[in-house]
């Protein structure tokens, strides 16, 4: 069966990585996959050997891009590709026009990876959403948002989680000693880690500020901040500089460790003793899944999809964003109740290995594609 992915983003983040992962999954199931993208697309560069064909769009606009819609519709019809998978809401408009005007029998799957945000019951959003045959949502709270904030028929929303290769995390790549040696860290206290882009909404500064307060009351921990600021982002660079300055001012260089982001995330998960998610809101939060699979005690913000993933406190502890009192109470509980925290982490690993294995996502989307064929 021939299918195509439409993704015009040229970046390389979680969205693009998830698209490439899904393309690899479906290719393994025998699908002949084409890619529709823009010039200088990283997903094409990294996955070009995977795709049977590639359509490059030039000067693609976000809205009312009828020339690109015509190119897409005519191309898909000519190539005998009857199903298009859209993964970025920024591409829904051009996909809708391609179907409405140029390829009326085209099937569209929308693989949602971002929250709805504000109400989208207006005419234009309803028009775009009406072009979708199935709307794939990774969590039930996102499905509920669709019911509340759009006019899309809820029976055509299917909950299929974003998944990952569980074996690489369950089967530890490194011992704790090996991971620490490779990171050049020798902590003398439990190591609390946070991973992700250095960004104000990711909570790294809050973690350092909390660490300083905890240190004043005698709580003995060290911190690992694993990540980098977005290249050419002045705001992120200034935020990162503020964190480094705070560490320096308080003479914490020996106990607050910084490691630039690197592809081998196993180093982080195998090195830390406690995982912290400090984000303002994560639509899904793959890092939380990775921490569960790594059997780590988890302390995470009570927002976005994180609460659902952690089963509202059953699989990890929750706190309100930047609420020091809640966060410190949860961390102190983990440090003082290691056996209970380890049991919770073991349960989280078991459930994550069942719910978020790659086969779950691949089989779920394969079933929808077969229904449309």
End-to-end CA distance of the chain: 8
Cα–Cα dist 11/156, whole Å: 30
Q: Are 2-163+357-372 and 167-355 in the same CATH fold? A: yes
Mean residue pLDDT across the chain = 95
* β-strands 134-137, 53-57 pairing: unpaired
At 353-372, the pLDDT tens digits run: 999 999 999 999 999 999 99
Cα–Cα dist 276/53, whole Å: 42
CB count in 10 Å sphere of residue 286: 19
Q: What are the residue ranges spanned by the domains of the chain?
A: 2-163+357-372, 167-355
**Tell me, what DSSP letter sits at residue 110?**
E
Please state whether the predicted TM-score (pTM) of the whole model is above 0.85.
yes
Asked whether residue 117 carries a pLDDT value surpassing 90, the answer given is no
2-163+357-372 is classed CATH 3.40.50.720: no
167-355 is classed CATH 3.40.50.2000: yes
At 55-67, the pLDDT tens digits run: 999 888 889 999 9
């Amino acid at each position: 069966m021939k299918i195509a992915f439409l993704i015009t983003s040229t970046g390389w983040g979680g969205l693009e990585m998830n698209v490439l992962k899904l393309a690899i999954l479906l290719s393994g199931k025998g699908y002949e996959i084409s890619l529709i993208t823009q010039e200088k697309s990283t997903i094409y560069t990294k996955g070009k050997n995977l795709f049977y064909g590639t359509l490059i769009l030039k000067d693609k606009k976000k809205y009312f891009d009828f020339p690109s819609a015509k190119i897409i519709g005519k191309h898909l019809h000519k190539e005998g590709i009857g199903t298009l998978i859209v993964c970025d809401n920024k591409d829904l408009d051009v996909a809708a026009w391609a179907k409405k005007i140029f390829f009326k029998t085209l099937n569209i799957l929308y693989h949602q990876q971002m929250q709805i945000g504000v109400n989208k019951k207006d005419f234009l959003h309803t028009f775009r959403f009406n072009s979708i045959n199935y709307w794939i949502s990774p969590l039930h709270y996102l499905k509920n948002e669709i019911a509340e904030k759009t006019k899309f028929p809820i029976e055509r929303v299917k909950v299929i989680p974003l998944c990952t290769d569980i074996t690489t995390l369950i089967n530890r790549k490194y011992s704790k000693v090996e991971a620490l040696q490779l990171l050049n860290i020798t902590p003398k206290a439990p190591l609390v880690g946070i991973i992700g882009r250095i960004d104000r909404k990711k909570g790294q500064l809050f973690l350092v500020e909390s660490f300083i307060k905890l240190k004043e009351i005698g709580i003995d921990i060290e911190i690992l901040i694993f990540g980098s600021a977005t290249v050419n982002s002045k705001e992120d660079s200034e935020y990162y500089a503020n964190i480094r300055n705070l560490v320096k001012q308080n003479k914490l260089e020996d106990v607050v460790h910084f490691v630039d982001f690197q592809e081998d995330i196993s180093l982080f998960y195998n090195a830390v003793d406690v995982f912290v998610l400090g984000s303002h809101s994560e639509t899904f939060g793959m890092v939380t899944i990775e921490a569960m699979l790594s059997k780590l005690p988890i302390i995470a913000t009570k927002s976005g999809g994180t609460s659902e993933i952690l089963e509202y406190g059953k699989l990890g502890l929750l706190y309100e964003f930047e609420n020091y009192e809640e966060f410190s109470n949860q961390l102190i509980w983990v440090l003082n109740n290691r056996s209970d925290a380890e049991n919770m982490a073991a349960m989280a690993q078991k459930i994550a290995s069942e719910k978020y294995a790659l086969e779950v996502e691949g089989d779920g989307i394969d079933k929808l594609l077969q229904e449309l064929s």
